[in-house]
Amino acid sequence: MVDYEALELSRYRLSQAKDCLRAAENNLASELYKDSLNRSYYCIFHSMRAVLALDMFDSKKHSGIIANFRQKYIKTGVFNPTLSDIIGSAFEVRNNSDYEDFYVVAKEDVDQQINNAKEFMSEVVVYIDSVAATNSVSIVIDKLDAISKAKVVGRPKDLYDLYVVSLLYEFEFIEIHNHPDFKISGDFENFIEDWEKIAEAYKVSDIIAKGIRPDFDDLYIRVKEFASPFIVSEELLTQNLKWNIEKGAWVSNEKSSGLIPSNVFADKRKVKE
């Protein structure tokens, strides 16, 4: 299983790649051809770093990033070998453009490098999305088990991770509950009863960057809703439930049933709002 922190880092690096691609296109429109070539290369560079983040790998040297990516992901067949040619071309053109005096850049070359960067990044996006989808159920199982135990009071990051996953992916309840690795070791008592202590720990946590930290009440309510069917007794789990990202609720796949009332879960355990 890919660690959740690795997935977060991967998506951050991918956002850097997307920013570079936008900059490359804007520089092309402004006829800043050398600047555009530079940004096209960095789109590819950060795309490689986004993939390598899944291994928690980084290097201060561009050659280290390129060599590691080619060795682990191109030579092994994960990505098409043509991407290796794109890397080589982008690296060479960027070096020439940045460091050679009187280097002449043609608009056609800039167009080609932008198209190469788009192709490279699109392949990376598909791969990272597939890895994230494959690992999302395992992440949910791990985090649900964590918040079911007493240690949840001192580990608000587990709640934050569940909150983020609930915003990104839809799940079938059955695929989680019937997964071979599924287990809930605790009874969620501390998660339910000690929410004020969890809130205090969340506010002072230095693990979650303050710039991306959602309001605790919003986080807690969403995570409570997500965890609800795993908290209640088995007799309530007869409906085929699906997590709805937009509603932030479990929805029955039975057309006549509609949304699962949140008070059904709250009645089983007095979850504090």
Report helix, strand or coil for 273.
coil
Q: Are residues 52 and 161 in the same domain?
A: no
Does 139 map to a domain? no
Does 233 map to a domain? yes
In the chain, the number of structural domains is 2
In which band, very low, low, confident or very high, does the pLDDT at 211 lie, cut at 50, 70 and 90?
low
pLDDT at residue 98 greater than cutoff 50: yes
Of 131, 164, 185, the one marking the end of a domain is: 131
Q: Are residues 120 and 165 in the same domain?
A: no
Structure tokens at 250: 């479990």
Q: What is each CA distance from 234 to 28, 188, 230, 231, in whole angstroms?
A: 60, 15, 9, 9
Q: Are residues 126 and 158 in the same domain?
A: no
In total, the chain counts a number of residues equal to 273
Q: Choose between 66 and 173: higher pLDDT.
A: 66
Residue pair 252/243 in contact (Cβ under 8 Å)? The answer is no
Report helix, strand or coil for 172.
strand
Does 43 map to a domain? yes
Does 138 map to a domain? no
Q: Are residues 152 and 264 in the same domain?
A: yes
Mean pLDDT of 243-270: 61
| H helical segments located in the chain | 4-29, 33-52, 62-69, 82-99, 107-147, 156-168, 173-177, 189-193, 195-204, 216-231, 262-268
Q: Are residues 155 and 221 in the same domain?
A: yes
Structure tokens at 139: 């992440």
The structure's pTM equals 0.67
Q: Are residues 110 and 155 in the same domain?
A: no
Does 38 map to a domain? yes
* Predicted local confidence at residue 241, as pLDDT: 87
Q: 1-15, 79-93, 134-148 — which is least confidently predicted?
A: 1-15
In which band, very low, low, confident or very high, does the pLDDT at 265 lie, cut at 50, 70 and 90?
very low
Q: Are residues 169 and 126 in the same domain?
A: no
Domain that holds residue 216: 148-268
Q: Are residues 171 and 81 in the same domain?
A: no
- In this structure, what CATH number is given to the domain that contains residue 89? 1.20.120.330
